[in-house]
């Protein structure tokens, strides 16, 4: 009986194998045909843009097209911050892709790298909102970086100034070159949740480690203020509860900050 059924069993097995091979072949062919038809995002012109016009945020939109049709030089949404405020070299029609050669800058896709002097570094930190002085910090501002950590010995919370007089290169996607142009029509707050600072390599190491250990805050300072802390201490719970240091600082504040700051009325640009 078994011998009589053997050809049938072999036939069934061979049929299954043939069907599997056919399925795999069809699947591979479908994948081959589908490959390159995945959609990608590019920057496009929302309206007609004449040569010489400086780009603003409202002129730019995001378009989608198959990856196989996205050519070298087409700008992506991540390039938006680098081209805002720059003039275009040719007329661009509405809904047309925007190429790097349409913009009057040298290789806009290089981003921030050309802005960094030799020996300097750009480092980005996850800071925004209240930690960034309610997002009043702007590109080219000077800030101090304050860290809040847990003391490894006492396990108490403490705060200390890590770096002083650091220059802000970018807030979110905006650098100093394109911030004013990109935000000139905005009447509210310009939100961001990360900043990019201009520091030494050794300072970059300090900031990156500090961010993993605690919470970082920015303290905005006058760019002409070149002073440094004469004594870098740390604020602990004892500092707050005893009040000794705050009484001394009150007298110093009255001496140093003799005039009231000018009241800023409306708007966000400076």
What pLDDT is stored for residue 106 in this prediction?
A: 44
What pLDDT is stored for residue 209 in this prediction?
A: 95
**Residues 152 and 227 placed together within one structural domain of the fold:** yes
- 6, part of any domain: no
- 217, part of any domain: yes
pTM over 0.75: no
Residues in the chain predicted with pLDDT less than 50, given as ranges, are: 1-2, 106-107, 109, 263-270
**Residues 89 and 145 placed together within one structural domain of the fold:** no
- Quote the tokens at residue 39: 């959609």
Q: How far apart are CA 262 and CA 270, in angstroms?
A: 13
What pLDDT is stored for residue 21 in this prediction?
A: 76
Number of domains in the chain: 2
**Residues 159 and 90 placed together within one structural domain of the fold:** no
What pLDDT is stored for residue 120 in this prediction?
A: 85
- 172, part of any domain: yes
Local structure of 162: helix, strand or coil: strand
CA distances from 4 to 7, 9, 262 (A): 7, 10, 102
Q: Of the candidates 84, 111, 138, which is a domain's last residue?
A: 111
Q: Of the candidates 80, 96, 111, which is a domain's last residue?
A: 111
pLDDT tens for residues 22-59? 777 766 766 666 665 788 889 999 999 998 888 887 88
What pLDDT is stored for residue 248 in this prediction?
A: 73
Q: Of the candidates 111, 132, 167, which is a domain's last residue?
A: 111
**Residues 225 and 128 placed together within one structural domain of the fold:** yes
Neighbour tally for 260: CB within 10 Å: 6
CATH of the domain at 57: 3.90.1210.10
- Domain of residue 98, residue span: 39-111
Neighbour tally for 137: CB within 10 Å: 20
pLDDT tens for residues 3-16? 556 666 666 666 77
- 240, part of any domain: yes
């Amino acid at each position: 009986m078994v011998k009589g059924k053997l050809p049938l069993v072999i036939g069934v097995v061979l049929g299954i194998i043939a069907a599997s091979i056919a399925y795999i072949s069809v699947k591979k062919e479908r994948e081959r045909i589908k490959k390159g038809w995945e959609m990608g995002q590019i920057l496009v012109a929302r309206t007609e843009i004449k040569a010489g016009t400086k780009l603003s945020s409202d002129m730019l939109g995001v378009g989608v097209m198959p990856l196989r049709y996205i050519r070298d030089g087409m700008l992506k949404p991540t390039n938006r911050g680098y081209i805002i405020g720059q003039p275009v070299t040719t007329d661009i029609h509405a809904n047309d892709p925007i190429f790097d050669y349409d913009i009057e800058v040298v290789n806009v896709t290089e981003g921030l790298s050309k802005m960094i002097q030799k020996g300097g570094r750009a480092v980005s930190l996850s800071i925004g909102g209240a930690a960034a002085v309610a997002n009043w910090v702007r590109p080219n501002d000077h800030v101090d970086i304050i860290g809040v950590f847990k003391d490894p010995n006492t396990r108490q919370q403490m705060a200390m100034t890590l770096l002083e007089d650091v220059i802000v290169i970018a807030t979110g996607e905006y650098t100093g070159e394109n911030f004013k142009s990109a935000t000139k029509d905005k009447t509210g707050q310009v939100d961001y949740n990360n900043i990019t600072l201009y520091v030494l390599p050794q300072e970059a190491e300090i900031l990156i480690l500090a961010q993993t250990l605690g919470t970082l805050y920015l303290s905005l300072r006058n760019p002409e203020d070149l002073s440094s802390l004469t004594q870098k201490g740390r604020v602990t719970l004892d500092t707050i509860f005893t009040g000794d240091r705050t009484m001394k600082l009150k007298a110093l504040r009255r001496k140093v900050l003799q005039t009231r700051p000018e009241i800023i009325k409306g708007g966000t640009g400076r």
